Chain A
Amino acid sequence: MSAEQRPRDSPQIRRLAPVIEPGHTYASVTDKISAIVLTRPASLGWYAGFAIGFSLLGVLTISLAWLIIKGVGIWGINAPIGWGFAIVNFVWWIGIGHAGTLISAILFLLNQKWRTSINRFAEAMTLFAVACAGVFPLIHTGRPWMAFYMFPYPSTMGIWPQFRSPLIWDVFAVSTYGTVSLLFWYVGLIPDLATLRDRATSKPRQIIYGMLSMGWRGSARHWHRYQSAYLLLAGLATPLVLSVHSVISFDFSVSIVPGWHTTIFPPYFVAGAIYSGFAMVLTIAIPLRKFYDLEEFITMRHLENMAQVMLATGLIVAYGYFFEFFMALYSNNKFDVFLVQQRLHGPYAPYYFALILCNILTPQLLWFQKMRTNVAVLFVMSIVVNVGMWLERFVIVVISLTRDFVPSAWGRYSPTFWDWSTFLGTIGLFITLIFLFVRVLPAISIAEMRELVTHTSEEHE
Chain B
Amino acid sequence: MNEHRSHIYGVMGEFETAKQLIRATEKTREAGYRRIDAYAPFPVEGLSEALGLRRSWVPFVTLVGGLLGGLSGFAFQYWANVYSYPMNIGGRPLNSWPAFIPVTFELTILGASTFAVFGMLAMNKLPQPHHPVFNVPRFTHASTDRFFLCIEARDPKFHLADTARFLQGLQAHHVTEVSDD
Given A163-B81, A250-B102, A218 and B39 contact (CB-CB distance below 8 Å): yes
Say how far B51's CB is from chain A's closest CB, in angstroms: 6
| CB <8 Å contact, B140 and A223 | no
| CB <8 Å contact, B117 and A447 | no
Pick from A169, A214, A220: contact of B37, CB below 8 A.
A220
Chain B interface, DSSP helix/strand/loop, else mixed: helix
Looking across the interface, which residue of chain B has its beta carbon closest to that of A247?
B102
Q: CA–CA, A179 to B120, complex, Å?
A: 17
Given A26-B144, A227-B43, A243 and B102 contact (CB-CB distance below 8 Å): yes
Contacts of A27 in B (CB 8 A): 144-145
Interface residue A301 (Cβ < 8 Å from any Cβ of B): no
Given A218-B39, A447-B42, A450-B42, A228 and B145 contact (CB-CB distance below 8 Å): no
| CB <8 Å contact, B96 and A164 | yes
Looking across the interface, which residue of chain B has its beta carbon closest to that of A186?
B117
How would residues 33 to 58 of chain A score, 1 for a CB under 8 Å from any chain B CB and 0 otherwise?
00000000000000000000000000
Pick from A187, A236, A450: contact of B109, CB below 8 A.
A236
Q: CA–CA, A165 to B123, complex, Å?
A: 39
Interface residue A288 (Cβ < 8 Å from any Cβ of B): no
Interface residue B172 (Cβ < 8 Å from any Cβ of A): no
Given A163-B77, A163-B100, A243-B105, A224 and B127 contact (CB-CB distance below 8 Å): no
Count of chain B residues with Cβ under 8 Å from any Cβ of A? 64
Contacts of B58 in A (CB 8 A): 225, 228-229, 232
Can you report 20 residue pairs joining A to B where beta carbons are below 8 Å apart? A163-B77, A163-B100, A169-B106, A176-B110, A183-B117, A199-B140, A216-B143, A217-B131, A218-B41, A219-B39, A221-B124, A223-B48, A224-B43, A225-B120, A225-B123, A228-B58, A236-B66, A237-B113, A239-B105, A243-B105
B residues lining the A interface (CB < 8 Å) = 18, 25, 37-44, 47-48, 51, 53, 56-59, 62, 66, 76-77, 80-81, 84-85, 87, 89, 92, 96, 99-100, 102-103, 105-107, 109-110, 112-114, 116-117, 119-121, 123-124, 126-131, 133-134, 139-145
